Structure 1
Amino acid sequence: MSKRKQQSRRPLWHPAYWPSWCVVFLLYALAKLPESIKRRWSQGLGRWLSQRLSSRARVVDANLRACMPELSDDERAALVESSFVSCTRGLFESLQCWWGDTDTWQEESRVEGMEHLQEAIDRNRGVLMIGGHYSILDLALPLVGRHLTKPGYMYRPNDNPVIDRMIEQGRRRHFNIRPFSKRQLKDMIGFLKQGGQVWYGCDQDFGRKTDVFAPFFGVDTGCISTPTYIARESGASVLCVSHVRMPCGRYRVAFSPILENFGDCPRQDALSWNGFIEETVRAYPDQYLWLHKRFKTRPAGAAAIY
């Protein structure tokens, strides 16, 4: 019996999961700290992690070398540290999203391109929103969801059922948002056909599922054609969305114009969302999830980046 199947048969209170419950209780306690402390801790903890997690820091450095070769060594080192600080801040923001109140953050967020989203909703054939993995992490769902009438999102379940329960219950607190796992693609297409609006972050390396390459910061980057399939089968309007933390501490959500020909060509579709994400990252370079091995899958004959 595989480890995953064995886990799925265990009740969540099984002693094997007690360490995971300890993590949940610790994170819950952190979520209840005053915001000023969480902000201060994210600075120190982020800098500390950038030194302690050397293998992950090398991933960030390799990503930045590939995407921003114009940076000097000192500039790149500073951005590596800033990326860790930003992601650590994002963890605390996610904890607030799971167990706290985010109403003020939502109300004070700046929204750009709302007319594009409204046009897509008014077409009444569903909206597929191609997002990216930025450092605010799960806070993206309520920030975007407050502008939707029938929200949903695509997600990958966590391998640990206790941690998965923590994350998914936290996400579903907001706006009755509906989740869809990768095994529920047909359900999600049906949801879109009924006028649903789904956030889908497809900007990660999917390994063997990679079936198209498109430039991202000038690097041929592995992508998947699933968004093209979803758009074609559902008939949904497609646009891109970004969600970042601004230097002032508030948040910005931006919707692109509707991508009218999305669904015709997987590579052109990948070019569209890669270009939108790249534009956002250039404006907020510390906000992208550089810790991910985005370029692990390479075109035939291309040199490895990691």
Structure 2
Amino acid sequence: MNKSLLAPKYWGLWIIIGFSKVVVNVLPYKTLMHLAIGVGFVAKPLAKKRQQIAITNLKIAFPEKSDKEIKKLANDSYKSACMAGFESLIAWFMSKKKFNKIPFETDISFFEKAHFDKKKAVIVLGFHFHCLEIIGRYIGQTYKPFTVMYQIHGNPVMEHVITSSRKKYVQECFQRKNIVSVIKSLKRRVSLWYAPDQDFKEHIVFAPFFGKLCSTLTITPWLAEKTGAVVIPAYYVRKKNLSGYTIFAGEPLNFTGDAYKDAEMTNKFLEDAIRKYPEQYLWQHRRYKTRPTGEEKIY
């Protein structure tokens, strides 16, 4: 570890990290989830901007809903996002013995067949449902070898903690721009977890997402073509009674070579999944930030 991460300005953060490690290994899982909701309730005044972003996104996605229904859905999504924060702590810090007691229900036969077959690499096309991090740990420690592609954290201490924690259950963490290493790994037929449903300005097409044109990355079909990888779309949700998680993997995507049609395909899969569990998706992200030339800003 770089000694600069131990500078006095980071001591407070290290104390919080140390406390978090104790908490997730002492308290029962359900207690942690209820604690997350409680902390979120106290911190909600600090999340007004994100709450408004969620409301804006939900109005685009569900124009048929009333303002009251949108507000309730935004509040439910906020609670889910708060639980996601604690789920990340569980993924990073909980002991393997305790973690393995959390129930995971899976319907991922398409993924399992491709992963264990080893004839081709597998790209798991994940998405930003709130429980992403905890599902990542389960998949990573259950289906080895596995790698992930991620966006580097802005805080160097958190970047170190998150990456070193993930490397306990995945083979490698590739920064988003390290495409050369990603390609080499896929050519060795090591499965990759990748969640591209964020707003980007490069390597995109504008494709419909809930009826609104949305910046959609074109890198997934390109990676599949370059490496011969099978692309398996997946989504995952927290059970509403907090009794565990459900993971679903769909059939391999057959990309057409047409960037727009391929983006439509992946967005449609995501839309269908979100409609089943709308409160568990990351509406707090400015998904429609980048607009086609001439369009007004949304946020």
SS in 2 for 1:209: coil
Query: Could you say which residue in structure 2 is the equivalent of 1:167?
Result: 162
Alignment of 1:95 with 2:89, yes or no, is yes
Distance 1:11 1:210 in 2: 35
Q: What letter is aligned with 1:238?
A: V
Q: 2:137 aligns with which of 130, 142, 151?
A: 142
What stretches of structure 1 move > 3 A for 4+ residues in a row?
A: 47-52
Alignment of 1:124 with 2:122, yes or no, is no
Distance 1:69 1:192 in 2: 41
- Which string of whole-angstrom CA distances, capped at 9 and with x for unpartnered residues, describes residues 151-179 of structure 1? 111011112211111111222222x4321
Cα drift, residue 149 of structure 1: 3.5
Alignment of 1:227 with 2:220, yes or no, is yes
Query: Could you say which residue in structure 1 is the equivalent of 2:13?
Result: 20
Distance 2:3 2:161 in 1: 17
Query: Could you say which residue in structure 2 is the equivalent of 1:111?
Result: 106
8 Å Cα contact 2:132/2:236 also seen in 1: no
Query: Could you say which residue in structure 1 is the equivalent of 2:297?
Result: 304
Which runs of structure 2 are paired with 1:263-302 in the superposition (5 Å)? 264-302=257-295
Query: Could you say which residue in structure 1 is the equivalent of 2:67?
Result: 73
Cα drift, residue 218 of structure 1: 0.9
Distance 1:119 1:245 in 2: 25
SS in 1 for 2:20: helix
Cα drift, residue 89 of structure 1: 0.8
Query: Could you say which residue in structure 2 is the equivalent of 1:193?
Result: 187
Distance 2:116 2:253 in 1: 14
Distance 1:32 1:214 in 2: 43
Q: What letter is aligned with 2:165?
A: G
Percent same amino acid at aligned positions?
A: 28
Change over 3 Å in CA distance of 1:9–1:103 after alignment to 2: closer
Query: Could you say which residue in structure 1 is the equivalent of 2:207?
Result: 214
Distance 2:211 2:289 in 1: 15
- Which string of whole-angstrom CA distances, capped at 9 and with x for unpartnered residues, describes residues 109-165 of structure 1? 111131354146425220011110111131021232355242111011112211111
Cα drift, residue 210 of structure 1: 5.1
8 Å Cα contact 2:21/2:89 also seen in 1: yes
Cα drift, residue 217 of structure 1: 0.9
Query: Could you say which residue in structure 1 is the equivalent of 2:40?
Result: 46
Q: What letter is aligned with 1:236?
A: A
8 Å Cα contact 1:46/1:81 also seen in 2: no
Distance 2:142 2:267 in 1: 23
Any stretches of 5+ residues in structure 2 without a counterpart? none
Distance 1:79 1:159 in 2: 30
Q: What letter is aligned with 1:239?
A: I
| Aligned residues: CA RMSD | 2.1
Q: 2:234 aligns with which of 241, 251, 260?
A: 241
Change over 3 Å in CA distance of 1:110–1:30 after alignment to 2: same
SS in 2 for 1:153: strand
Cα drift, residue 198 of structure 1: 0.3
Any stretches of 5+ residues in structure 1 without a counterpart? 1-7
Which runs of structure 2 are paired with 1:152-163 in the superposition (5 Å)? 152-163=147-158
Query: Could you say which residue in structure 2 is the equivalent of 1:4?
Result: none
Q: 2:51 aligns with which of 50, 57, 64?
A: 57
Change over 3 Å in CA distance of 1:294–1:110 after alignment to 2: same
